[in-house]
Amino acid sequence: MRKMLAAVSRVLSGVSQKPASRVLVASRNFANDATFEIKKCDLHRLEEGPPITTVLTREDGLRYYRMMQTVRRMELKADQLYKQKIIRGFCHLCDGQEACCVGLEAGINPTDHLITAYRAHGFTFTRGLSVREILAELTGRRGGCAKGKGGSMHMYAKNFYGGNGIVGAQVPLGAGIALACKYNGKDEVCLTLYGDGAANQGQIFEAYNMAALWKLPCIFICENNRYGMGTSVERAAASTDYYKRGDFIPGLRVDGMDVLCVREATRFAAAYCRSGKGPILMELQTYRYHGHSMSDPGVSYRTREEIQEVRSKSDPIMLLKDRMVNSNLASVEELKEIDVEVRKEIEDAAQFATADPEPPLEELGYHIYSSDPPFEVRGANQWIKFKSIS
């Protein structure tokens, strides 16, 4: 909680800094808020959906912009560090999908819960961890959020359950978290995310059934970025209407490139769950610019023209920026300053992530259990022992 508040205050204080060059900007009269039309969601088993207009305040707009830009820059920095071989193993980047993580967070409370698969760096940030902790985890250093032991696919925070490497396995987990929410009676919901590739896993349908049967406060969210690794949705799914795949579970198909559309849909879905009606399903139509992971160039199964077209017409950061500038919620210069601040934040974090030392070898056996008394762990042979502390 403290870490999350620190992260939010860092973001907000960034907005309120006033160096000399911003005196001119500050003196300009911006609108406090503006109303925007958003795309109507396709509905499944629902009479009504989220509203088709929404009000965006200047404060919220600047915050969403900064968060999306931070996720974007952080992912591009991870790309760079991976190519320098400072990040190893698997690295699945989410640039292009920023509206999903920022929009979802905007629609829920910090006390709600979220679980996703391995394309998780953006969610780790929006759920409250700092870029420093995330990049240091990617570089395998002791300052990482999992002490360097987890890497890209195993990052966790308060009310954020990762970071899961096995496709689809997180969905029954998410339904289980929702069961715990209902059991505890605290009016919390669980956002359970999966991709279009995972959407054909049997265990997801098992989770749908138990969530609907027991009316669990679970929002199933399919982040449909059109490709499951190298396989397009048409080649993997008999039905690509992922928002209808829950059958007896009502569903929404949402423009996942529009942060406001995602926010409104999430508010609607969360209210539905909190009213005790049971689970709901959201399909976010989105796009990833990078390949599936850093070992996939991402152009053997789709064209560069397609990637370029999405970048130029549907980029989520560009969409928000245009809306804010055209409605006088912010100026181009102000947003450029945020860009500069974000770049600096990422650079500082990358410096930390490359300079921080690796975890000590003595801690190899630590944290196997959560609350056991210390014991000894066998090493590579019977004479090597590591101490294990919970």
Partner 1 sequence: MVAVSGLMQRPLEKVSGLLRRHFHWIAPMVLQVTVCEAINQSMDKELERDEKVFLLGEEVAQYDGTYKVSQGLWKIYGDKRIIDIPIYEMGFAGNAVGTAMGGLRPICEFMTFNFSMQAIDQDINSGLPPMPIVFRGPNDTSAGMAAQHSQCFAAQYGYCPGLNVDELMYGVPFEFHSEAQSKHLLISIGKAKIERQGTHITIVAYSKPVGHCLEAATVLSKEGIECEVINMRTIRPMDIETIEASVMKTNHLITVEGGWSQFGVRAEICGRIMEGPAFNFLDAPPVCVTGPEVPMPYAKILEDNSIPQVKDIKFAIKKHIKYLVWT
Q: Are 89 and 167 in contact (CB under 8 A)?
A: no
148 is an interface residue for partner 1 by CB under 8 A? yes
176 is an interface residue for partner 1 by CB under 8 A? no
The residues facing 223 across adjacent strands are 195, 284
Report the nearest approach of partner 1 to the CB of residue 183 (Å). Answer: 27
Residues binding partner 1: number (CB under 8 A):
51
CB within 8 Å of 322: residues ≥ 6 apart: none
150 is an interface residue for partner 1 by CB under 8 A? yes
297 is an interface residue for partner 1 by CB under 8 A? no
Q: Mask 68-107, x = binds partner 1 (CB under 8 A)? A: --------------------xxx-----------------
In this structure, what token pair is assigned to residue 58?
């200047």
140 is an interface residue for partner 1 by CB under 8 A? yes
164 is an interface residue for partner 1 by CB under 8 A? yes
Looking at residues 184 to 243 of the shown chain, list those that interact with partner 1 (rule: CB under 8 A): 197-198, 200-203, 228-231, 235-237
Report the nearest approach of partner 1 to the CB of residue 161 (Å). Answer: 14
Instruction: Compute the distance between CA of residue 188 and CA of residue 171 in angstroms, rounded to an integer.
Output: 17
The residue from 6, 166, 180, 299 that contacts partner 1 (CB under 8 A) is 166
Is 85 in a helix, a strand, or coil?
Answer: coil
Complex with partner 1: residue 183 or 383, whichever CB lies closer: 383
Go through the chain and tell me how many residues it has: 390
Complex with partner 1: residue 12 or 384, whichever CB lies closer: 384
The residue from 49, 50, 168, 251 that contacts partner 1 (CB under 8 A) is 168
The residue from 10, 28, 277, 378 that contacts partner 1 (CB under 8 A) is 378
167 is an interface residue for partner 1 by CB under 8 A? yes
288 is an interface residue for partner 1 by CB under 8 A? no
Instruction: Compute the distance between CA of residue 269 and CA of residue 367 in angstroms, rounded to an integer.
Output: 37
Q: 75: part of which helix (H) or strand (E)?
A: helix 58-83
Complex with partner 1: residue 1 or 377, whichever CB lies closer: 377
Complex with partner 1: residue 200 or 286, whichever CB lies closer: 200
Q: What are the two backbone dihedrals, phi and then psi, of residue 189, each rounded to the nearest 5 degrees?
A: -120, 160
301 is an interface residue for partner 1 by CB under 8 A? yes
Instruction: Compute the distance between CA of residue 198 and CA of residue 291 in angstroms, rounded to an integer.
Output: 17
Complex with partner 1: residue 50 or 150, whichever CB lies closer: 150
382 is an interface residue for partner 1 by CB under 8 A? yes
Instruction: Compute the distance between CA of residue 320 and CA of residue 116 in angstroms, rounded to an integer.
Output: 25
> SS3 sequence, 276-343?
CCCCEEEEEECCCCCCCCCCCCCCCCCCHHHHHHHHHHHCHHHHHHHHHHHCCCCCHHHHHHHHHHHH
40 is an interface residue for partner 1 by CB under 8 A? no
387 is an interface residue for partner 1 by CB under 8 A? no
Q: Are 240 and 228 in contact (CB under 8 A)?
A: no
298 is an interface residue for partner 1 by CB under 8 A? no
306 is an interface residue for partner 1 by CB under 8 A? no
Q: Are 352 and 81 in contact (CB under 8 A)?
A: no
Q: Are 304 and 298 in contact (CB under 8 A)?
A: no
Instruction: Compute the distance between CA of residue 245 and CA of residue 226 in angstroms, rounded to an integer.
Output: 16
Identity of residue 336: K
Is 103 in a helix, a strand, or coil?
Answer: helix
12 is an interface residue for partner 1 by CB under 8 A? no
Could you count the other beta carbons within 10 Å of the beta carbon of residue 309? 12
Report the nearest approach of partner 1 to the CB of residue 42 (Å). Answer: 23
Report the nearest approach of partner 1 to the CB of residue 85 (Å). Answer: 10
Q: What are the two backbone dihedrals, phi and then psi, of residue 198, each rounded to the nearest 5 degrees?
A: -75, -15
Q: Which residues bind partner 1 (CB under 8 A)?
A: 88-90, 140-142, 146, 148-154, 164-169, 197-198, 200-203, 228-231, 235-237, 300-301, 358-359, 361, 363-365, 368, 377-384, 386
